[in-house]
Structure 1
Amino acid sequence: MTKHIIEEASRCLQCKKPQCSRGCPVSTPANLMIEALLAGDIRKAGAMLFENNPLSAVCSLICPHENFCEGHCVLGRKGAPVHVSAVEQYISRNYLEQYQPERPVNGNNGKRIAVVGSGPAGITMAFILAGQGFDVTLFESEELIGGVLQYGIPDFRLPKDILARLRDKLIGLGVKIRPNTMIGPVIGIDHLFADDYKVVFIGTGVWNPRPLRLKGESLGHVHYAIHYLKNPDVYALGKRVAIIGAGNVAMDVARTALRKGAREVTVLYRRGEDDISATRYEYDYAKLDGVRFRFYASPVEITDKGVVIMDTRVVEGEDGRSRVESVEGSESLFEADSVFIAVSQAPRSNLTGLEVGKTGLVITDEEGRTNRPGVFASGDVVTGAKTVAEAVNFSKRTAKAIIDYVSGLGD
Structure 2
Amino acid sequence: MKPTNLLAGVVLYCRAGFEKEAAAEIQQHALDLGVQGYVKAQPASAYLLFTPYDPATLDLLRAKLRFADLCFARQLIYVAPLIQNLPADDRITPLLAAAATLAPRYSAVWLETADTNEAKALSVFVRKFETPFRRAVERAGAVDEKSSQLPRLHLFFIDSATVYLGLSWLGNASPWVMGIPRLRFPRNAPSRSTLKLEEAFHTFLEEPERALQPGMKAVDLGAAPGGWTWQLVRRSLRVTAVDNGPMAPELLDSGIVEHLRADGFRYRPPSPVDWLVCDMVEQPARIAALVARWLAEGYARQAIFNLKLPMKKRYEEVERCRDIIARSLEQAGVGYALAFKQLYHDREEVTGFLRLAGRTGERRGA
TM-score normalised by the chain length of structure 1 = 0.25
TM-score normalised by the chain length of structure 2 = 0.27
Higher RCO by CA contacts (8 Å cutoff, separation 6 or greater) = 1
Bigger strand fraction: 2
